[in-house]
Amino acid sequence: MKENKSNFKKFFQSIFKIFFYTLFKLKHGKIVFDEKIQSKLYKEENVSFENKNITLVYSIFFSSYSRLYTDRIHDTAIIKDNLLIDKPSFQLRNNVNDDVTKNIVLKNGTPYIMRRLNGTILSLLTGGGGNDNFFHWLFDVLPRIGITERKINLKEIDYYLCPNLNKWQLETLNLLGIKKKQCLSSVKYRHIKSDQIIVTTHPWQISKDVLKDIENLPIWISEWLKKKFLSHKSYKDLPKKFYIDRSDSKSNLKNFRYIINENELKSFLKDKGFEFVRLSELSFPEEIKIFNGAETVVGLQGAGLTNLIWSNNKTKIIELRSNLTNKLYENLAKDNKINFDKLESAPKDHVIADHYGSIEVDIKKLEEII
């Protein structure tokens, strides 16, 4: 009986989806891709950054009287006169930008109410990672502003289309001088039309090898972030030696990435004078301050360690991680001349990706490192 109800529900949902998509196709028209006329649909300008003895070149795309549609996870389409524009659109498959012919709008159209906005919009969309992940917000989303300001005065930007707009994300934008009324969340603005839409290429995903790229982040991004934010650090008195408490982290709560013997670890660290800090309970300026003034930081591999870029050269960062995970934070620390050490452990179970899996920390080895 339950199975029949489930099948009926799926059937009804399928019929409703087809009706819904058809309705919006009739309203907004069918989207097509024509390779021959792409150059007529947008203007492209380049900017460059020096990075470790090489020059990185980024593109900025300008499309007038265009539409933007996003599913907020994998696909974002820039559309002019119902023609899909290749270069500023993206369609992520296995974390890599695939061929534009895979973009979902060619199949499903733009099944969302369109909002019309006057002025110029800078899209900061970057895929699902930018929605609420601290690392991706700082290294995927915000640097698009840094790329854009190399070419145009940001006073010419009327709106910033962001993956999401929670409290700490708004804090970062405010510190950049961007007013709240200029910030649009893709949660609400999934389908928009504007006088001009600006899009940049990805700040660090330069090749088709995502692992290689994420382990070799362009140093200009860290330098740009520090230039923009370090002066805004809090003056609050915060711990000098602390352990990053991830008990409120989504990956921890879902048992994707956690420390099996964390109680033992915390007891050991407490005896060594460490305090336990939930970064989610700090303001963004406080996060900058606590890392900038820290003597020693211990933490499980995760987005919170992105804050190591604020640290001074006397701070010691100790990353606890699976021996399967990437060297993102290790290399980020090296590039920023931060004192870094790691303690690796083989994952015990539940490995759904290289950076997930529960680990058991060897307390004796940690004592040697500290």
Print burial letters for 74-99: b (CB count within 10 Å at least 16), e (below 16).
bbbbbbbeebbbbbbbbbbeeeebee
In a domain, 262, yes or no: yes
In a domain, 83, yes or no: yes
Query: Which of these, 41, 93, 33, lies nearest to 65 by C-alpha position?
Result: 41
Same domain, 323 and 202: no
Q: Which of 178, 194, 227 is the C-terminal boundary of a domain?
A: 227
Same domain, 131 and 174: yes
Q: Which of 195, 227, 259 is the C-terminal boundary of a domain?
A: 227
Same domain, 87 and 159: yes
- At residue 151 the predicted structure's pLDDT band, cuts being 50, 70 and 90, is very high
Parallel/antiparallel/unpaired status of strands 159-162 and 316-322: unpaired
Q: Which of 183, 207, 227 is the C-terminal boundary of a domain?
A: 227
pLDDT digits (tens, 9 = 90+) for 76-110: 999 999 999 999 999 999 999 999 999 999 999 99
Q: What is the pLDDT of residue 18?
A: 67
User: Cβ contacts of residue 247 below 8 Å, gap of 6+?
Assistant: 278
Distances (CA, A) of 303 to 170, 249, 250: 18, 10, 11
Same domain, 92 and 181: yes
Same domain, 254 and 162: no
CA-CA distance, 49 to 221, in Å (whole number)? Answer: 10
Please provide residue 9's backbone torsions phi and psi, each rounded to the nearest 5 degrees: -65, -45
Give the domain extent around 256. Answer: 236-369
Query: Which of these, 92, 89, 106, lies nearest to 38 by C-alpha position?
Result: 89
Same domain, 316 and 265: yes
Q: What is the pLDDT of residue 186?
A: 98
Residue range 207-230: average pLDDT?
96
Same domain, 257 and 167: no
Same domain, 154 and 254: no
In a domain, 358, yes or no: yes
Does 252 score more than 90 pLDDT? no
CA-CA distance, 70 to 28, in Å (whole number)? Answer: 15
Same domain, 202 and 259: no
Same domain, 186 and 83: yes
CATH of the domain at 308: 3.40.50
Residue range 48-77: average pLDDT?
96
Total domain count, the chain: 2
In a domain, 156, yes or no: yes
In a domain, 246, yes or no: yes
Same domain, 304 and 158: no
Same domain, 240 and 222: no
Percent of the chain with pLDDT over 90: 83
In a domain, 7, yes or no: no
In a domain, 285, yes or no: yes
The answer to whether the pTM exceeds 0.85 is yes
Q: What is the pLDDT of residue 236?
A: 94
pLDDT digits (tens, 9 = 90+) for 266-311: 999 999 999 999 999 999 999 999 999 999 999 999 999 999 999 9
